[in-house]
Amino acid sequence: MGNKLMDLRDARFAIYDQLKISDLYAYEKFSDYSDDTVDLAINTAEKLAVNEYYPINAAGDKAGVVFSDGKATVPAEFHAAYQKFCEGGWTAPAESYDYGGQQMPTMLNYLTQMLFFAANQSLMVYTCLTHSAGKVIEIFGTDEQKSKYLEPIWSGRYGGCMDLTEPEAGSDVGSIKTKATPNEDGTFNIKGNKLFISQGESDLTENLIHILLARVEGDPEGTKGLSCFVVPKFRVNDDGTLGKLNDVVCTGVEHKMGMKGSATASLAYGDNNDCIGELIGGRGKGIITMFNMMNEQRIVVGMEGIAMGSSAYLHALDFARERKQGVAFGQRTGPQVPIIEHPDVRRNLLVTKSYTEGIRALLLYAAKCLDLKEVVDDETAKQKYSNLVEILTPICKSGGSDKGFDACVTAIQIFGGYGYCQEYYVEQLARDCKITSIYEGTNGIQANDLLGRKIVMKGASAFQALIDEIQSVIAAAKGIDGLSDYAAELGTYLDKFIETSGLLRERLTENGFLAYSWATPYLSIAEDIAVAWMLLDQSVIASGKLAAGGAAEADAIYYESKINTTKFFISSILPQVTGKLDAIDKNDDTFLKLEDKYFID
């Protein structure tokens, strides 16, 4: 099988055969890439993830982050592995050559990141947030800010974090109380408090760049009055050397269920009236600026979840093949057999296999859309890929995190009592993975985003772009023996999904409170349809390869497995959307009558 982090045979099939990463080589930005260089990158990332990140994950979980005198010390083992990560150019491989990047296709970057997330989520969180902080500066920063911060961020010498959440303003971003007062030199004095800030303080890098939301005194309440600021832990001198410590104080780190090697900090800004921040992105445009970081992180969080779920599946699969318990099904006596031969275990494995393969492909598909919207010249095509990224973001985030966690829980179930013990990796994976459904906007917020914004935006053109893509795959599959019935089945569910989506759009204006009560089941339906779409697309390709003949035995087994996984998902898992669709269509209003007094404590 290879490593227990990711099924690279399946991942390679997704990027080479299904998504055709070679199409990107024709664009100037990616002209230095070929299948050989892509494979080299995957192999190099796998080696680093398996040999450096994975072996220290349990030690990092045990040691945790130590807080003392305002300083957060990460597990000692993390430093050497992080340095090797930086030296290998993995901190910002998709960025421009101009800033020391490798102009790597996002699809390839995402695949390699998933290896690292599966190997050591706590350590990788430091890196992915650093990248997003740098991206904000690249897109919205002044030339001076880019010159000052980008190279050390992209090289990994500086870390980065996103500072939104406050004690009284979690998901309600518009309630932020942190204040910014203008100085004569164009900088701002920052004063306030934040909490739950991942990498808000650590000793992993020589400096830390906070991307912070605050309200300039006198600006309007709500989100329209927010601005975005660059707040370094150490001020940076004109020559690039570090200056005095900024007035940013870590007041504590959280003691969490999982992710124990990741520093989640509470921060106080300006207690001594000397916290200096630099405006970025324009005054009053903080939400636009910050949501560039947030939207990138939402897809990244989906990757985190499914990466850990994929690893849990591979561990469970190995265990199920090796663990012998009970006799063969239908027999009363005989030798013990591996538990994979028992129906319940096999079904659990198949469900997990279906979701991990389908959602991984969906995330890589979204990555290709991110690349294409940047490099295509045709404006219609550019808008199409932009629309697809918009509507897929909440589906990728929620699907990756929820189904990734489900995979971890299922893996524990397959291990039985062993899985509940710390000696087995799946126990830690479940604890580490749970946060992904909360990170970067809870999955309830993702559901509200899909229902209230994404399916209605631009005259429903983003929704239609997704439907068109799914329908094109269904049409292709209907012409293939062995897939046509399954394609028709998906088509039936899709038609019902389209109809229900139209009803929900109408209800948003009729009774929004009741309509939004259906947001989470609606998102769940979208996730299942998206997984079926990805798996069916892969089966069309696998069927073609089998029909062409000449496949090696191992390849033929893989293609047959792909087709059977698709059939299993569409016939045995996808039908569960029927009940959810029927409930939404029925639109029973009892929900409105269940006021607070009916929640008996």
440 is catalytic: yes
- Do 389 and 411 contact (CB within 8 A), yes or no? no
- Do 517 and 594 contact (CB within 8 A), yes or no? no
Nearest to 306 by CA among 222, 408, 448: 408
Burial code (b: 16+ CB inside 10 Å, e: under 16) for 162-183 equals bbbbbeebeeebeebebbbbee
Residue of 278, 390, 440, 527 marked active site = 440
Q: CA 376, CA 506: separation in Å to the nearest integer? A: 35
User: Do you know the residue count of the chain?
Assistant: 601
Nearest to 199 by CA among 149, 267, 245: 267
Structure-token match 């920052």, residue found: 190
Q: CA 330, CA 14: separation in Å to the nearest integer? A: 38
For the chain, helix (H) and strand (E) counts, in that order, are 19, 12
| Signed CA dihedral, 113, 116, 122, 124: sign only | negative
Q: With 0-12 CB in 10 A as exposed, 13-18 as middle and 19+ as buried, what is 115?
A: buried
> Element (H or E) spanning 150, and its range?
helix 143-155
Structure-token match 């057999």, residue found: 337
Residue 353 CA: distances (Å) to CA of 116, 454, 574 = 20, 29, 14
Catalogue the active-site residues: 440
